[in-house]
Structure 1
Amino acid sequence: MQGLQQASKLKALAWQLSLICSVSFAGIQTAQASIPDHHEFEASLHVPYRADAKAGAESRYFTMEFEYPYVTKEQTITWRLELLGSDGKVVDRWYGTEKLFKKTVTAQMFWSGRGPTGAALKDGVYQVRLTAKATDTSAIQAAPASTVASTVERALAVHDTEIITQSWPLQVGNLPTPKMPSFAALPTKASKALLTSSTATAKTVAGAAPPPAPATGSLPYTIYYGNLHSQTNHSDGGGELTSCTGAQNPQSAAYGPTDAYQYALNKGLDFLMTSEHNHMYDGSDSTNASANPATAKNLFQSGLAAASSFNSGHAGFLAIYGLEWGVINNGGHMNIFNSSDLLGWEYNSSNQLIADTLTAKNDYAGLYTLMRQRGWIGQFNHPSSSGQFLVNGTALGYTADGDQAMVACEVLNTSAFSTNTTETETSRSTYEGACNKALEAGFHVAFTTDQDNHCANWGASYTNRTGILLANGAALNSANFVDAMKARRIFATMDKTSQIILTANGHIMGERFTNSGPLTLVSNFASTSGRTVSTVVIYEGVPGRNGTVTQLSSTATTTITPAVGEHFYYAKITQDDGKILWSAPIWVTQSNSTDSTPPTVSAGESGTSGNITLSASATDNVGVSKVEFYVDGALKGTATSTPYSVTLNSTTLTNASHSLVAKAYDAANNVGTSSTVSFTINNPVSDTTPPTVSASESGTSGNITLSATATDNVGVSKVEFYVDGALKATSTSSPYSTTLNSTTLSNGTHSLVAKAYDAANNIGTSSTVSFTVNNSTSTQLISNGGFESGASSWTASSGVISTGGSEASRTGSYKAWLNGYGSAHTDTLYQQVTIPAAATSASLSFWLKVSSDETTTTQAYDTLKLQIQNSSGTVLATLATYSNLNKGTTYVNKTFDLSSYKGQTIRVYFVGVEGSVTATSFLIDDISVIAQ
């Protein structure tokens, strides 16, 4: 009977699909628009860099992972693995196919560690390259029978869908360690904290490395590590780790931006960007025609406010809130780091834009222009070399506005749907080829590596980080972050304890300068965890050539005389554990100039408090290219056009006398240095007096009131209320109070503490106040009310409790489906419960959806009765009768008072009776009987 019922319902679904297939072309476009944004084929490859030393051989497993979210047909994955020598030639090759439908598929291939003939390979670094493609299984089966190799090669030769290539190095044997330049690690937030702690205590924790001493003549920067790509419940992220398997339904998950920032801070990150999909602020993966634009725009502004609020309370961490703009399918995702507006292209049914500013879908050239005009900067997210970021039909097409707006390109991502929290995720993908294509097109972008977290493990899935360089002494804030990104002072690393800094003739990565004569490129590396370098490569390309990036050298220090014209260079280092680092490029205009005359420069300063101005006058026989400003020997800013000046927040300096020096550069890299100028800072002494605060509570049940009295020598900015150590509410104006639903607390004694803050972030804490909660308790009498344990605890007709079919459950997978056959039939469902005699109340609640093919609006042909029976089956009451006249498209909540049955054992009984012609289905879910 259950099989017949499911067959009947599947036939009904097929009929509905046939109607869908007959709609107009406009209807088809609407259906396509609702394809989930993460509907794309993905392939990753994990290659152990070194063999297991215990095994005593070079053998190891290569692991491939394939996924295709939301795919509607079974796919055959055709894959080819190639082992490449250091010269790029194929040493060995393997083929395979895998069947994939909805669930992720993992395949492993064992490699003996030898060549195809069984001979040992020469010591060296090899590459393992995966090429993979997903094709409808029906198309593969329709092709002529052949060997696996022929099948794979034939499929890969057809470029009708995305072909993914991933490549990872492996080391065979032992290699000499490359000669690396002497380079002391630049300070990080962690190392500075350790140095401060050590200086304060004059002690070193047993077993810990001593704090690094500043390197003489080292670069004047501090490195901060973080993740620039993640989502929360403002779009399709924030999924609970225990249940997160993919992108979340927009705005449905448990955790928001503040949760993400706190999690990342706790995991040791210095910054985190929550990059929310711009087209999901309507609460939909497609277009929500009933969306309220004000709600969407307010949600975006609340995200900006959450980041700002978190930053104000957590010095030393930078919370960044921005947009991931665009769609993957025939588009391309890109981060916008500093937009103050919600950007979008979707309209509701009232023709209202569900955004602040219109940005046409897939119009990347237009978006670049808007970003350039507004001063916004962006990053290419997990880019593809083909089919994405189209401008005039060209993938990663260049525009001058785009070159100003786009500052970064993701070179590596860990799995977007990883739930790993121990930094050991092995599923990750590289996009170096696409980033190189962007560089060759003319984009001045630096490499980043992120985690694209959709689950609640922000920054914790792997050890990869993006490193940004801020001038020593500069605060980690939004303005300085944006300046560093614009300067492309960024690097990408798979190891959060390692650094890579590329310099050239005194210039640092990210810079653009003119050079004449020899050019010395230096790949600087440091590891605070003892890692060493296995290989180092410097790559060279030509911006605007749209050609191929090539390897320039395999030495850390390389001196060349470039051809006259434009060039870019970047360094790539592989550690002894296989983890890779990418420097930002450095862009060089090579000229024939023989200019050896340095500029003449003088410096000046104005202001003693607040924002002060550092200025310079500079002249040169050819032309000044830039002026740098150093305060007390630390670089504070750079000006590239006259008048040469920068603004500095003087609160970053002490109230004392300071020295200013300006350095002027010309195109030939000659440097002129000004005389030292002394100036004095005298900022008002900051408020250090915390507020005084006391707390109180009133009420023992229901809504209770938490109150506080707070005073301060300047003014109280907010009061926070903590119950049992957990923050429950914040009040920003007097009288400071809030109401709390006491049913969220257990019956018993609890503690209340109030914390008062002033504008200087001084904190006053109240004494602990004890209070008691005494709410009446409630008991759930229905077992398995959502049917997720199947028929457990229920007595039902065959096939009533089910999953699948054309009708969805309200929650979970199971529901009770009575009738729906289109023929005379009766279905029943009941569970027996006992209402406690001591209960003060008892109520029945359930959710009902009536789906009917009946068209009458007057005649009840098919009915569902809700009865209360005694334990012998005698009907005590019929509480309600529903029929085909109650049909609708959604589940509706129904509630009834069962207080009159206290002290009795009763059956909650549903009986559905269907006529003989037209189908009516009665769907029931989430039944509960609560006694209090």
Structure 2
Amino acid sequence: MGSFNKTAAAWRAVMGIFASAQISGTVYAASPDHHEFEATLEAPYRGEKGEAREFVLNFAYPDATDPATVAWRLELTDADGARLQHWYGEVPFYGKPVVVRVPWDGRDAQRKALDNGHYRIKLLATTGEPLLTRTPAGALEQRVEQVLAGADLRIEQSWDVEVGTPARPVMPVFKALPVGSAGEALAKSAPATGGLPYTVYFGNLHSQTNDSDGGGAIASCTSSQAAQSGQYGPAAAFPYARGKGLDFLMTSEHNHYFDGSSGTNASATPATAKNRYAAGRSAASSFNSANPGFLALYGMEWGVISGGGHLNIVNANLLAAWEYNSSNQLLGDLLTPKSNYSALYTTMRERGWVGQFNHPDTSDQFPVGSTVMGYSADGDEVMVAAEILNTSAFSSNTSETETSRSTYEGAFNKLLERGFHIAPTSNQDNHCANWGASYTNRTGVLLPSGQALNEANFVAALKARRVYASMDKNSQLIFTANGRVMGERFSNSGSLNLVANFANSAGRTASQVRIYEGVPGRNGTVTQLAATGSITVTPSAGAHFYYAKVTQDDGKILWSAPIWVTQGSGGGDTTPPTVGASVSGSSGTIALNATASDNVGVDRVEFRVDGTLKGSDSSSPYSLSLDSTTLSNGSHSLVTRAYDAAGNSTNSSAVNFSVSNTSGGTLVERIVNGSFEAGSGSWTATSGVITSSASVAAHGGSWKAWMNGYGSAATDTVYQSVAIPAAATQATLSFWLDVITDETSTTQAWDTLTVELRNSSNAVIATLGTYSNLNAPGGYTQKSFDLLAYKGQTVRVYFKGVEGSQVATSFVVDDVSLLTR
């Protein structure tokens, strides 16, 4: 979404020639300061030569109360930017969304059918107050051009379109990296793809709940919600996103809403604001504990549109605020002056927080001093990402088919040229209760295979800028330079091999590929370097950045994170490092070790086992831990490779070592009748709990354990005794849980299910997890727990549901499993 801030006087001077498309300060004063004018463009990507298409222009200004007029220009250009066709318009605007449909017959202005190839359709739009007492001057085209030229804000949206059957680019051969928690498990036993030891996690880094202005019920949601009035909170958002297949979701609540107002609530207390933010962080932490393999993030969207723009703070453990109540008490934990981005960046650096520029606009956002999108060293350190494409913030679509989308590629490029080291993201800015469900777009984040998906590791990946943006959740774009992965910064001498590694698991192919280059801190223009999947160049001396953009054959786009390269001037360091290798251990955790030295300094050491990259270390002593169970028993070989800052590298001699996994074995199921399809056999349960009733669905089959749901005070239990072998090397309990509730509270856990381990005397040994009415809705979700600490014991796997006295909540458990090895 775009944003702007301007005075009526300046616009009236510009708008004197444009009676029906003028902008005044009153338009903006009438709306909450986090709302803004929106303009989006829908353009069908593919079409035959001469085939007609329709472009759709969508204009909206949520909560605006004054009449306005939208002035717009739409133009079609060729690959070199030459204009082939154009359209102009003025649209009266009274607060409700406006849709303009522009037919195109597939021809240029001279009525000639366009040749096979790729073209660009671009929308430029602004909005303002009609000046009804003045006479319009000039023709429509003249008026619109003058208005656009004088506007402080001009929203620009552009898309490529394909005509006919242009040649497809040749793409490098690339096998997709493992994806999500299932892919992480696979990565532990399979060679690293393309020498890249990473697992990709997909999710959404921008959404709201009823802690601010989101969480609106799907059936009635068309805009943001009044402060803290939405139906659903974070406890509903996280299971919903997990159920939609996301690996992570960030609920980014407006930081100035925690007083219960979109403005300033002078009667609010600091405790109210601080406690609500802390409760959101706690909800995320609790969900993560109960749902390994998914990452719930709770942070804030800081700032206001009318005063510099929005940015997310991903990992803030405190509420940053600027509002005071009538007793001069700060309504938050930490003072961060409104619209002072330079000071905010410093605070973020001091506290280890990282951020994302949200729906950035080049007009007046993120100022440092008098410079829009101004660079600062602190800002460069903490701002790790910027949105490059979002779906409509107020979409209620739940089938991933939303057509209204906004791009911010121009702002992304400007931030790079300013000197920021940022990666692109694609999010949904959900205000309705459809977290991650409005479209197929995702942000992809690369974690080293073997690392747990938790906030610390995730933030480390963001800091490394191992991130890409995709309109297709089935696609990957991993950009490399001389084997270095996107997000890295390094010095180089000699040639530079840039590779756009693309893969799609649903059969889509690349229609276009572009590799772009720029210079950080130049404040110039990002330019296209190549239209091929790979290219080898020798950069000029100095600093450069490069990134890749791939358009699929269905028009969906991916953007990689940049790679930043400092090219030497020649005649520099050409001496390679020296490196040696050694191995300690043959089972369990094996230590891979290296010694390395260089005349200037060692940049990193890579560890390859049997030719497969297992990881790297950039600090001495150089080492890497390896799980022996990821290798077969027998002889293996380690080779280490050391790099210096100039790109020189050396391999060590091969070191042979043996693996002896003596504690292996097949997995054994210890739970009997875990699906309940044999009725109550092997289980001890409260009467009626194990049932085949069709009133509630089973996860599989027809039987399940259905606890509570009476609407009156009740306690239900179901348990089974199992013995965990003393020699076990693995013991994992898992089950599927569905929580169905009539409760409406989003903060109070009235009804609970505890998952416990008990001994034969029925004493509680451990409480593994606690769930409540707050975990609904979302359907069945799988829970799992490591029970290896209880090997050698006979335990009761014990489920206990406790329901309050008034409103019904059902806890449905199915497909219980305890696997040991």
Structure 1 length-normalised TM: 0.68
Shift of 1:601: 3.0
SS, match of residue 175 in structure 1: coil
Q: Indicate the residue corresponding to 1:506 in structure 2.
A: 483
- Matching residue within 72, 76, 89 for 1:83: 76
Q: What amino acid maps onto 1:58 in structure 2? A: E
Whether the 8 Å contact between 1:472 and 1:634 is mirrored in structure 2 is no
CA distance, structure 2, for counterparts of residue 518 and residue 756 of structure 1: 49
Letter in 2 for 1:501: I
Aligned position for 1:38 = 34
1:58 and 1:231 mapped to 2: Cα distance? 41
Larger radius of gyration between Structure 1 and Structure 2: 1
Contact 1:369 1:401 in 2 (8 A): yes
- 1:43, distance to aligned residue in structure 2 (A): 0.4
Question: How far is 1:248 from its partner?
Answer: 0.8
Name the Cα RMSD after superposition.
4.5
Structure 2 letter corresponding to 1:544? G
Deviation at 1:664, TM superposition (A): 2.3
Q: Give the alignment partner of residue 666 of structure 1, picking from 640, 644, 654.
A: 644
Structure 1 equivalent of residue 94 of structure 2 = 101
Question: Which secondary structure state, in structure 2, belongs to the residue aligned with residue 346 of structure 1?
Answer: coil
Which aligned pairs between 1:353-432 and structure 2 lie closer than 5 A? 353-432=330-409
In the alignment, structure 1 residue 142 sits paired with structure 2 residue 120 = no
| Paired amino acid for 1:228 | L
Contact 2:397–2:438, Cα closer than 8 Å, also in 1: yes
Counterpart selection for 2:146 from 154, 158, 179:
154
Q: How does 1:311-322 map to 2 (within 5 A)?
A: 311-322=288-299
TM-score normalised by structure 2 residue count: 0.77
Encode CA deviations 1:782-815: one digit per residue, 9 max, x unaligned.
xxxxxxxxxxxxxxxxxxxxxxxxxxxxxxxxxx
How far the C-alpha of 1:232 sits from its partner, in A, is 1.1
Q: Aligned-pair distance for 1:653?
A: 7.3
1:483 and 2:460 aligned: yes
Change (3 A) 1:483 1:708: same
Sequence identity, in percent?
54
Q: Take 1:281 and 1:725, find their aligned partners in 2: how far apart are those partners?
A: 27
CA 1:378/1:118 → structure 2, altered by over 3 Å: closer, same or farther? same
1:618 aligns with 2:596: yes
Quote how far apart the aligned CAs of 1:88 are: 0.5
The code of the aligned residue for 1:59 comes to: A
SS of the equivalent of 1:421 reads coil
Aligned-residue offset at 1:732:
9.0
For residues 279 and 385 of structure 1, do their structure 2 counterparts lie closer, same or farther at Cα, with a shift above 3 Å needed? Answer: same
Gaps of 5+ in 1: 1-28, 200-212, 742-754, 776-932
Counterpart Cα distance in 1 of 2:753 and 2:313: 31
Q: Which amino acid aligns with 1:729?
A: T
The answer to whether the 8 Å contact 1:609/1:651 transfers is yes
Contact 1:756 1:765 survives alignment (8 Å): no
Residue 131 in structure 1 maps to residue 124 in structure 2: yes
1:176 aligns with 2:167: yes
Cα shift at 1:452:
0.7
Quickly say closer, same or farther: Cα 1:342–1:602, change in 2 above 3 A. farther
Residue 752 (structure 2) pairs with residue 729 (structure 1): yes
Aligned-partner Cα distance in 2 for 1:241–1:667: 53
Q: Is the 8 A contact 1:655 1:683 kept in 2?
A: no
Match of 1:706 among 703, 711, 715: 715
Please give the alpha-carbon distance, in whole angstroms, between the structure 2 residues aligned to 1:683 and 1:341. 48
Aligned pair partner of 2:578 in 581, 586, 600: 600
- The question of 1:539 aligning with 2:516 is answered yes
Report what 1:845 is aligned to: none
CA distance in 2 between counterparts of 1:720 and 1:761 reads 22
Q: 1:268, 1:498 → 2: CA distance?
A: 14
**C-alpha distance in 2, partners of 1:539/1:476?**
31
- The structure 1 residue matched to 2:111, chosen from 118, 131, 134, is 118
Are the structure 2 counterparts of residues 649 and 482 from structure 1 closer, same or farther at C-alpha, using a change threshold of 3 Å? farther
Aligned CA distance change for structure 1 residues 287 and 643 (closer, same or farther; 3 Å): farther
Partner of 2:679: none
Q: Deviations over 1:858-907 (max 9, x none)?
A: xxxxxxxxxxxxxxxxxxxxxxxxxxxxxxxxxxxxxxxxxxxxxxxxxx
Shift of 1:671: 2.3
Note closer, same or farther for the CA distance 1:645–1:143 as it changes in structure 2 (3 Å cut).
farther
1:305 and 2:314 matched: no
CA gap 1:84/1:352 in 2 versus in 1, 3 angstroms: same
Answering whether residue 184 of structure 2 is matched by residue 188 of structure 1, we say no
Query: Using a 3 Å threshold, how does the CA distance of structure 1 residues 720 and 462 change in structure 2: closer, same or farther?
Result: closer
The one-letter code of the counterpart of 2:752 is A
Of residues 352, 366, 375, the one that matches 2:329 is 352
Contact 2:716–2:802 (Cα < 8 Å) also in 1: no
SS at match of 1:577: coil
Q: Which amino acid is 1:43 matched to?
A: A
- Tell me how far apart the structure 2 counterparts of residues 95 and 122 of structure 1 sit (CA, whole Å): 24
Q: State the Cα deviation string for residues 493-524 of structure 1 (Å, max 9, x = none).
A: 11111211211112121111111112121122
Query: Counterparts of 1:44 and 1:344 in 2: how far apart (Å)?
Result: 32
The aligned runs of 1:741-756 (5 Å cut-off) are none
1:408 deviates by 0.8
For residue 445 of structure 1, report the CA deviation from its aligned partner.
0.6
Q: CA deviation at 1:603?
A: 5.5
CA contact (8 A) 2:440 2:472 kept: yes
Q: 1:632 to 1:77 in 2, by over 3 A?
A: same
Q: 1:722/1:275 Cα in 2 relative to 1: closer, same or farther (>3 Å)? A: closer
Greater shift in the superposed pair: 407-416 or 332-341: 332-341
Q: Partner letter of residue 70 of structure 1?
A: D
Kindly tell me: are residues 410 and 609 of structure 1, through their superposed partners in 2, closer, same or farther at Cα, counting changes over 3 Å?
farther
- The separation in 1 between residues aligned to 2:510 and 2:661, in whole angstroms, is 48
Counterpart amino acid of 1:46?
E
User: Which residue type is aligned with residue 596 of structure 2?
Assistant: A
Q: Report the 3-state secondary structure (helix = DSSP H, G, I; strand = E; otherwise coil) of the residue aligned with 2:713.
A: strand
Question: Do 1:471 and 1:635's aligned partners in 2 also have CA atoms closer than 8 Å?
Answer: no
Match of 1:65 in 2: 58
Check whether the contact 2:212–2:254 (CA below 8 A) recurs between aligned residues: yes
2:43 counterpart (39, 43, 47)? 47
Change (3 A) 1:217 1:757: closer
Are the structure 2 counterparts of residues 631 and 193 from structure 1 closer, same or farther at C-alpha, using a change threshold of 3 Å? Answer: closer
Measure how far apart 1:708 and its partner are. Answer: 5.6
Counterpart pick for 1:451 among 428, 448, 469: 428
- 2:203 match: 226
Distance 1:512 1:700, change over 3 A: closer
Q: 5 Å matches for 1:582-601? A: 582-591=559-568, 592-593=570-571, 595-601=573-579
Distance 1:709 1:389 in 2: 56
- The 2-side partners of 1:438 and 1:774 are apart by 55
- Whether contact under 8 Å (1:475, 1:652) holds in the other structure is no
Contact 1:695 1:767 in 2 (8 A): no
Equivalent position amino acid for 1:222 in 2: T
Shift of 1:615: 6.3
249 and 605 in structure 1: CA distance in 2 versus 1, 3 angstrom threshold: farther
Gaps of 5+ in 2: 1-24, 675-682, 690-706, 725-732, 743-749, 757-762, 774-782, 808-821
CA distance in 1, matches of 2:474, 2:260: 39
SS of the aligned residue for 2:145 comes to helix
The match for 2:5 is none
Q: Which amino acid aligns with 1:370?
A: T
Match of 1:874 in 2: none
Deviation string 1:123-164 (CA, Å, 9 cap, x unpaired) is: 2111111000001012x762534322122112112124x210
Aligned partners of 1:616 and 1:645 also within 8 Å: yes
Q: Which letter does structure 2 place at the counterpart of 1:442?
A: G
